Structure 1
Amino acid sequence: MGLCGSRPVGCVGGRLVPAGKRNRRRRRRSIKRRTSSLKLDSSSVHNRPQSTPTCAGRGSVDAAWFDSTSVLDSEFDDEFYSFRDDEVSTESENGKGSEAVELNNCGLLPNTCLPYLAAGPSVEKKRQINQGAPNLRRKASSKLSFKLKEGHNDPTTFSPRAPLQRPIAGTSVPHCPLEKRMPNCWSPIDPSVFKVRGKNYFRDKKKEFARNCAAYYPIGADVFLSQRKVDHIARFVELPAINPAGDVPSILVVNVQVPLYPATIFQGENDGEGMSVVMYFKLSESYSKELPSSFQEHFTKLINDEVERVRGFPLDSIVPLRERLKIIGRAANVEDLHLSAAERKLMNAYNEKPVLSRPQHEFYLGEKYFEIDLDMHRFSYISRKGFESFIDRLKLCILDFGLTIQGNKAEDLPEHMLCCIRLNEIDYSTYKSLGI
């Protein structure tokens, strides 16, 4: 036929070329142009068009990029988990995440991965990327804090210490048998482990073990953290439904308010960060049978906030009977507390020594319960300072706690226990706050 002068499509050098060969030649020319441009300018990696097929393995650029953020994934996985999910979905919707998607694509040939040798960053560049990881963390944390301030997320979903909203009483501290030593739990104990004023105390000043009966027996315990001390805490928990028995409340709630801030000499500030150790007791079924009538009478007057005449010189005085409420605390495992010689001497002198709760107490009478709040925030400086040095050892201590009504007359003796409980190695840092 002769030569093709006009070189129509399909003619090369005056002869026809099949369509398949033409496409392969064009593809080879495009590959050469791309690889040459990659060698000349490494920045073209970020500007190349997207390719649909993904790579089975990552090249050097992929490894360098993921190394720069691996610190965030390993050290701050819990903190940034929700943040990353939100950001990735937002960026992909806005088209900002194209670079991250591009790093997972080949961009050259379908179903083929070629290494980007010339486009990979140098050793110095990798060092700069790794050094910039803290800046990435700071930027990510600032974005997270900004989102929280803006109100886009609920802070309670991020914090494991979300306040408890009207919890069931006694659910935070579990019960364990007395013979098993388990941390962060409570156990019932016999009232006879405490020493109280005996029948002849006013003559021989001797104390003896209490009778093995009490007005109330433990049914649960809670520990709540708070920024300020919580008064009348029974309002914020769900107490068990127990039918009242006579004129005496069926449930006794004891709320010990413990400060967790440093003690100061001047008592101008008696409120702040602390915890509430709350103990719940149920009225004994044999209350009216085992306890003497004098004790029952005094306890009824204490509930009703009645007063009594106290002999004194030069004049008698009228005082509330509630001022006779007495606290007994006893560390049952002194040998496990790792005390120094001076601390051991103080512990032996004051361990199980009764203390009148006045005037650092408050009383609240509900429909089926009677609450006693013992405010350690208002204790003396010496008492608070001593407890402050002991607070870190509380998680090692087996503490027996009890209440009694002090006998001021011979007819009031012997003293009887109002309630008692054992708290086993309470670590207050593991507990939550109470929603108010």
Structure 2
Amino acid sequence: MGVCGSKPKGCVGMKNKLNLQKKRRRRRRIKGGPHHPSINRNRVEPSDPKDLAFTNPSFQGSSEAWFDPDAMIDSDGDDDEFYSVQDDVSQAGSLSNVVTPRFSNQVAYGNNTDSQVSCGDSQNEEQSRNESGSLHSCGFISNTFLPCLACDESLDVKKKPPSLTGSNTKKKLSITPSFKWKEGQENPILSLGKPILQRPIAGSQVKCSPLEKKMAECWSRIEPNIFKVRGRTFLRDKKKEFAPNYAAYVPFGVDVFLCPRKINHIARFVELPSVDSHGEIPPILVVNLQIPLYPAAIFQNEYDGPGMSFVFYFKLSENYEEDLPLHFRENIRRMIANEMERIKGFPIDTNASLRERLKILGRVVNLDDLELSATERKLMYAYNEKPVLSRPQHEFYSGENYFEIDLDIHRFGYIPRKGFETFQDRIKNCVFDFGLTLQGNKAEDLPECILCCLRVKEIDYTNYCQLSI
């Protein structure tokens, strides 16, 4: 046939195959010899460099590549050795010293692939940079796979991937700060030039109207039996029933005040009617509903800022002792006196104030008249008239002839705060029923009775003034 002078690819492949077979036969003979444990395998000559697999980058600490040809043959092309253990971005913002091939396309290399540079040789570090200053391969492995980043700390020009502390990442990872009202910053509602009220008469801001009359900017008395509460058999069947048709306190006035900061113990700054106190029950009950007017934040550490106070004034019912059952009157007395009660629990019993059983009853009466989206309507129908314990967002204050309860919505959770924020502009269109009761946890505390209740109709808080404190 003739000599294959041009050395086509088929001949080169056949030669490589024969060389591989010779190596395998030689290995079998060596391993089968009598002195197998003490054989010096370092004298085995490697094959053509073109047939060598890439060396493990973990052995890049010296200027010469060390390899075991037998290990390479037995590896069966296992690619796991090309990946370092720590090939992710570290917390310090840099890559690990040994970079895996999956990161090789994110690093800039030089164009000269013939340079043979050791990662530990400082004299060749300058030669490993091309004209643009980027790094070449470290000499063991081609630029295509592993760039030399192990010795880049001593270089003037450093090519680093974006770190976790970079400016762009900071913007993405930054947490929305909680709203903090700055001193001197004006609120658009509070800066309308309205007069500041100096000790107004309690209940002089919002007028009263009959319940059946459709009228905005007013309040009305309602019957307590419009609320559903725990009945006598609640502990057995978990069913609620309409409350008894009497309340401990009846309303006599409503005020709305704007305030740059929430006002606690607001009864000190208004003129309450002069009523003599008889017995342990104060004749006047003041409920201060503190509502925020600043945005809600998820990670909120500020619970004060611009807002308003809906202040409800109640007086003791004339038929207090005749109408209310003994257990409810006793619980009111104990709540005002801040008495403790024992609560059974596992593994031991605990003591808690009876004030922790104060419960808010609320409902929007005219849901069908409000412009609600499908999601808002679904949520409102699901949670309307749901009672909620006021703890721990409440405070209590006692005066000469009054008892005050502050309900702090500023300290409510993010979800209810956010829901109220989206609903804030529609308060002026709402007809809202409000009531308080003491939750009955034992059979002797049932049925639950109403402490106080009233209805407010379409209150536009922007029409009211600040209170001087």
Structure 2 residue aligned with 1:409 = 442
Q: 1:418 aligns with which of 444, 448, 451?
A: 451
Distance 1:287 1:180 in 2: 28
Instruction: Encode CA deviations 1:140-171: one digit per residue, 9 max, x unaligned.
Output: xxxxxxxxxxxxxxxxxx97511100000001
Matched, 1:369 2:402: yes
Structure 2 residue aligned with 1:312 = 345
Structure 2 residue aligned with 1:262 = 295
Q: 1:357 aligns with which of 390, 410, 413?
A: 390
Distance 1:269 1:429 in 2: 24
Q: 1:216 aligns with which of 243, 246, 249?
A: 249
State the AA in 1 paired with 2:421. E
Distance 1:160 1:340 in 2: 35
Matched, 1:197 2:238: no
Matches within 5 A, 1:261-340: 261-340=294-373
Cα deviation, residue 315, structure 1? 1.2
Higher Cα Rg, which structure: 2
- Secondary structure of the structure 2 residue equivalent to 1:219: strand
Matches within 5 A, 1:42-61: none
State the AA in 2 paired with 1:399. F
Backbone CA RMSD of aligned residues = 1.1
- Secondary structure of the structure 2 residue equivalent to 1:271: coil
Cα deviation, residue 267, structure 1? 2.3
Distance 2:362 2:214 in 1: 19
Cα deviation, residue 244, structure 1? 1.7
Matched, 1:391 2:419: no
State the AA in 1 paired with 2:257. F
Q: 1:165 aligns with which of 195, 198, 206?
A: 198
Instruction: Encode CA deviations 1:239-269: one digit per residue, 9 max, x unaligned.
Output: 0112223210000000000000000111201
Distance 1:348 1:415 in 2: 24
Distance 1:417 1:202 in 2: 19
Matches within 5 A, 1:94-105: none
Instruction: Encode CA deviations 1:117-137: one digit per residue, 9 max, x unaligned.
Output: xxxxxxxxxxxxxxxxxxxxx
State the AA in 2 paired with 1:199. R
- Secondary structure of the structure 1 residue equivalent to 2:395: strand
Structure 1 residue aligned with 2:466 = 433
Aligned length: 279
Matches within 5 A, 1:97-176: 160-176=193-209
- Secondary structure of the structure 2 residue equivalent to 1:384: helix
State the AA in 1 paired with 2:252. I
- Secondary structure of the structure 1 residue equivalent to 2:376: helix
Distance 1:340 1:159 in 2: 31
- Secondary structure of the structure 2 residue equivalent to 1:169: coil
Distance 1:181 1:263 in 2: 33
TM-score under structure 1 length normalisation = 0.63
Q: 1:233 aligns with which of 249, 266, 291?
A: 266
TM-score under structure 2 length normalisation = 0.59
Unaligned stretches of 5+ residues in structure 1? 1-157
Unaligned stretches of 5+ residues in structure 2? 1-190
Q: Write 1 or 2 for the structure with the bigger share of helix.
A: 1
Distance 1:386 1:208 in 2: 28
Distance 2:354 2:278 in 1: 23
Q: State the identity %.
A: 65
> Quick check: 210-219 or 341-350, which moved more?
341-350
